[in-house]
Amino acid sequence: MTFKAVSFSQASFKKAPIVSLQGQPVLLFNQQHLTLLEALEQKKVSTFSECRNGFCGQCKTKIISGSVSYITEPLVTLEADECLPCCCVPDTDIDLDLSVDGAELVGRAINTKQAQTCNT
Ligand code: FES
């Protein structure tokens, strides 16, 4: 019986970004989430949305730290520290200036150092 060596690229193990609200971890963004808005809605985070496609700007949210990539090009003018959750995904751990009121929070704080160790 022969075994083939299997190698995995670094990209295969990219760490799932932690999404926080005003410093409070709320969720891990994974491949089950299509957009940041959908992930926030799953956690019952209070957000505004209308078009859900980058046209209206109703979901415009301030980013405290982190960065996003757009699935579709936004048609709304954004400041450098703003994003449209309806059409973006987080590139890195991200902290948004949204209230945690009403959101389903993570039971205990996510240990980011431990998460990084597990995914390297
Ligand atoms: S809901 Fe319209 S731009 Fe996001």
Give residue-wise pLDDT tens across range 25-37.
999 999 888 999 9
Tell me the pTM: 0.78
The values of phi and psi at residue 83, to 5°, are -145, 165
Encode pLDDT of 60-106 as tens digits: 999 999 999 999 999 999 999 999 999 999 999 999 999 988 888 76
Beta strands in 16-78 (DSSP E): 18-21, 24-28, 61-65, 68-70
Report the distance separating Cα 34 and Cα 29, nearest Å: 9
Per-residue confidence at 115, pLDDT binned at 50, 70, 90? Answer: very low
Cβ of 43 below 6 Å from ligand 1: no
Residue 113 has pLDDT above 70, yes or no: no
User: Nearest Cα to 40, choosing from 103, 112, 87?
Assistant: 103
The values of phi and psi at residue 5, to 5°, are -70, 130
Cβ of 49 below 6 Å from ligand 1: yes
Cβ of 59 below 6 Å from ligand 1: yes
Predicted pLDDT of residue 117: 47
Letter for the amino acid at 91?
A: D
Supply the mean pLDDT for the chain: 85
Report the distance separating Cα 120 and Cα 116, nearest Å: 6
Q: Which residue has the higher pLDDT, 34 or 110?
A: 34
